[in-house]
Structure 1
């Protein structure tokens, strides 16, 4: 029986070199032919599918929350409508006139016939838009007794829409609203202010075209 002759080392080395070259060729072929045309598109498709799944999940969550969000939005709108904070007028000029009307109503309710409280002056101020909302104000001067003043201020600050009494200045003074009164009372000055809704016209007022009219009590006492 013949023995196999051992393979020469050079032949083994050549085989390993050939195997390495074959693997190298296969790797290059994969990188050139398979990876860019098959593997990369498949990876991109998987990423797109994952993004779509996440988007679908977010949409489902939003749809599930939609009834609750709509309910809360309706509640918020009802709350705002029941407690309006902005003046209903669409311009600063109309809002100033509305403030004067609110003031006159409050004074008449506190002192019917202006027997113990009267408006001595009311002058619209220019609107201010320094902040997000436009402030409309009227400079007011009253001559009232103490109970009447408290009633006027309470009526102005607790009505709707919300009004603000700023820069209040009260001085004790003797005056007469009618010849039959002793003339003990208060001289009051303040700014009656409110805020326009966003989007309302905040054009400057033309105070010269419509000066403040004197109160009827002053007109009756004029010479």
Structure 2
């Protein structure tokens, strides 16, 4: 019975004092191993920092040189550029630019929308050339709110038949985008 009592006391002592310490040491060992693994992973990422920063700078530089967007620092300069582009496109097509009006810019996600309201007089061929040049230009430009009206020519009483109307008055908005800073 004494041996059984001694074995019971040893078992209780082991369960009360030694087993928790052994379990705690095992948990600490696992935690240290996990932290060592994380430290190695963070050191590996930190070693790649310079390469990643260089890549980020290249991406930023490429984004700033992106030909799809109007490359200006302010919306006012971008609007002036857009007006001059439209003026050049219309004059190359042989049309008559009667007015341009800047529409206030607005933010759309990560971009600034730059718009100009345009009024042009010209033939259907002029209209075709202007729209084609705008839609295929760089930076990318878009046409919205297209409104086409014929310009009525006064009838010549000497001519018995009416002349075909080939002169148009066209209103539209030209939209370009600028990357937000």
TM-score over 0.5 (shorter chain) = yes
Task: State the alpha-carbon separation in 1 of the partners of residues 139 and 108 from structure 2.
Answer: 21
Alignment size in residue pairs? 169
1:109 to 2:92 alignment: yes
Deviation, structure 1 residue 57: 7.1
Match of 1:133 in 2: 111
Contact 2:148 2:170 (C-alpha < 8 Å) held by counterparts? yes
Structure 1 portions without partners, runs of 5+: 1-13, 112-116, 176-181, 200-223
- Of 125, 136, 145, the residue aligned with 1:167 is 145
TM-score normalised by the chain length of structure 2 = 0.72
- Of 134, 150, 170, the residue aligned with 1:188 is 170
Superposition RMSD on alpha carbons, in Å?
A: 3.6
1:96 to 2:74 alignment: no
Q: Deviations over 1:140-183 (max 9, x none)?
A: 111111111111111112111111111111122236xxxxxx98
Q: 1:33 to 1:88 in 2, by over 3 A?
A: same
1:122 to 2:100 alignment: yes
Deviation, structure 1 residue 198: 1.8
More strand by share: 2
1:33 to 2:11 alignment: no
Q: 1:166 to 1:24 in 2, by over 3 A?
A: farther
Deviation, structure 1 residue 38: 3.9
Task: State the alpha-carbon separation in 2 of the partners of residues 95 and 106 from structure 1.
Answer: 16
Query: Secondary structure of the residue that 2:24 maps to in structure 1?
Result: helix
Structure 2 portions without partners, runs of 5+: 154-163
